[in-house]
Amino acid sequence: MTDFNPEASSDTAAPALTVEEAIANLRGTDLSLRYYAAWWLGKFRVSEPAVVDALIEALDDEADRTELGGYPLRRNAARALGKLGDQRAVPGLIRCLDCSDFYVREAAAQSLEMLGDRAAVSPLMQLLSSGLAAAERVPGRPHFTQPCEAVIEALGTLKATEAIPLIKPFLEHQARRLQYAATRAMYQLTRDEAYGKPLVQALQGQDVVLRRVALSDLGAIGYLPAAEAIATASAENSFKLIALKGLLEHQLTPEANTLSDDTIRVMKLMDSLL
Amino acid sequence: MIDSTRIQALIQAVEQANSAEGLVESVRALVATNSEEVIPTLITVLGYNNPEAAVIAVEGLIGLGEAAVMPLLNQLDEYNYGARAYSIRALATIADPRALDVLVTAAASDFAPSVRRAAAKGLGNLQWHQLSPEQGQEAQDLALKTLLDVSQDAEWANRYAAIVGLEALAANATGMIERIRNRFEQMLSSEADLAVRSRVLMAQQKNGC
C-alpha cells in the first residue's frame, strides 16, 4: 500500500510546521495537533532521531481514543515510522501487531514491510495463525478480523518463504484484493510465473479500482512480462507509469551505467504514457 | 464528402448519447467524418469523463491536425484537469508551435501532474521550422528554459518527462545540444531516482545527448 496519489498536486501545501513545532505538538495536549503532527512528520519524511523517539512513544498513547476504542494517534505514528526508515521502530511496531485496534495492526504491518526487518516475520505469521478465519468479516465493520492483505504483502516483501503454507489458502479467497495480495506474495516467494500471470489477467477485469490494485501489485513485484499489458491497460496513465517504474527499477542497480534491451523497452512504454 | 445536415445529426447524437457505449459509438462516427466542423464537439467530449470516448476524440483531433490547434487553445478547460490533459496531449502531438505558450504554462505550473508531463514531452517536439528564424530561436530558448526548470522538479515523473522533452529538443532544435548534454551530466551526478537516472542514460546512449 502507498499514500501516493498520482493525480494529487505535489504542492498541496498543508499548514506549514517546523520540525520543532511538530515534535512539540506530538508531545502536547491538543489531540488533533498531535494527530496532525504524526501524519506531517511521515509525509515529509523528517527522519531525525528526536522525531523517531517521539513517534515511538506515541505508539503507546492512551489519550487519543475513538468511540469504538480505536487509537488514532497510534495509527498515524505507526504509518509515519514506516516512512522514516529507522530500524529502532521495529520492536514498537511488532508490539502494535497485538493492538486491539485493527487499523493500528494494519499500519504496523505495512510499516514493518517498509522497514524490511526479518524480525517481524514470526509475529506477522502469528496474525494468520487462524488460517482463513483471519479473513472473516467483522460484523458491522468494513474489515476482516486481521489485516490479512497488509500482513501477506509484508511477508512476501520480507522473503518469508516459511510463510508459504499460511499464504496459499488465500489465493482462492473471494475478496479480490486479498487474492491479489496472496498471488503477489507467492510470486515474490517462488518467482513462479504461475503467480505472475493471474495479476496480468486481472488487468482485464471489470472494476477499475481492482485494475489499479493489480497495476500496483505488478509494479511491486517487478514482473517484466507484464510490461505491454500494463501500458495498454484501461486505467489512468499515472497508475501505469508507476507500475512500469516498478518493473524498470527491478532491472536496475545504482552502479549500472549500461542499459539492457528490457529496460529500454520499458522506458519506451513509459515515454508513450507521458 | 458528408453533407452538413448529416454532420449536424452526428453531433446531436454525441450531445444526446445516454449511455457510455452509445457515446463511444457516436464519437467514433463523428471522427470518421474527418470534417473540421466536428472539432468543437470533439473538444467538448474531452470533458465528459469517459476515457474511451476521450481517447477516440483525441485521435480524431490529432488526425485533423493544424485545423484543431486554435479551437483546442481557445477551448482549453481550466476547471477540469482530465479534459485539459487530453487537450494538451493532442496539442503536443500535433506539434504546431502556436501551442508553445500554452505548453510552457502547463509544463511549468499546472496543478495536475498528467497535464505537466504531457506538456513537457510536447515542448521538445514542436515543428520549429514553421516559425521565422528569429521567432524560432526565441521559442526554442523558452522551451529549453522551461524544460530545464521542470528537470529539477520534486516529482520523479515530471523530471522523467522533462528528460524526454530535452532529448527531443536536442534532436529537433538548433544549437541546444551542448546545454542539454551538460544538464544530463549534472543530473547523472545528483539524481537519486533509479528510473530517472536510467532515462538520462538512455538519452545519452541512444541519441548522443
What pLDDT band is residue B174 in, cutting at 50, 70 and 90?
A: confident
Enumerate residues 207 to 246 of chain A having a beta carbon within 8 A of any beta carbon in chain B: 234, 236-238, 241, 245
- A274:B199 CB<8 A: no
In whole numbers, what is the pLDDT of chain B averaged over residues?
A: 94
Contact residues, chain A, for B201 at CB < 8 Å? 257-259
Question: Mean pLDDT lowest for which of A241-245, B98-102, B134-138?
Answer: B134-138
pTM of the entire predicted model: 0.87
Supply B2's cell numbers. Answer: 458528408
- Give the residues across from A144 on adjacent strands: A137
What are A48-59's pLDDT values in tens digits? 999 999 999 999
Residue with cell 487509537: A71
pLDDT of A2: 39
pLDDT at B74 over 90: yes
Is the Cβ pair A274, B113 closer than 8 Å? Answer: no
Which amino acid makes up residue A157?
Answer: T
What residues are paired with A137 via a beta bridge?
A144
- For B152, other C-beta atoms within 10 Å of its C-beta total 13
Flag if A241 and B157 touch (Cβ within 8 Å): yes
What is the CA A151 to chain-centroid distance, rounded? 9
Query: Which residues 6+ apart lie within 8 Å of A256 measured at CB?
Result: none
**What pLDDT was estimated at residue B1?**
57
User: Which of B52, B161, B195 lies nearest to residue A249, judging by beta carbons?
Assistant: B195
Instruction: Give B-chain residues touching A270 at CB under 8 angstroms.
Output: 160, 195, 199
**Grid cell listed for B17:** 448519447
In this predicted structure, what is the pLDDT of residue A4? 43
What share of chain B in percent tops pLDDT 70?
99
What's the rounded mean pLDDT across residues B190-207?
A: 94
- Residue entry with cell 509544463: B107
Q: What is the pLDDT of residues A25-77, one digit of tens each?
A: 999 999 999 999 999 999 999 999 999 999 999 999 999 999 888 999 999 99
The closest CB to that of A259, out of B111, B156, B198, belongs to B198
- Specify the pLDDT at position B63: 97
Query: What pLDDT is attached to residue A3?
Result: 39
Q: CA-to-CA distance for A111 and A45, rounded, in angstroms?
A: 13
pLDDT in tens, A211-264: 999 999 999 999 999 999 999 999 989 999 999 999 999 999 888 788 999 999
Q: Does A263 touch chain B (CB under 8 A)?
A: yes
The tens digit of pLDDT for each residue in A161-208 reads 999 999 999 999 999 999 999 999 999 999 999 999 999 999 999 999
Maximum C-alpha span of chain B: 62
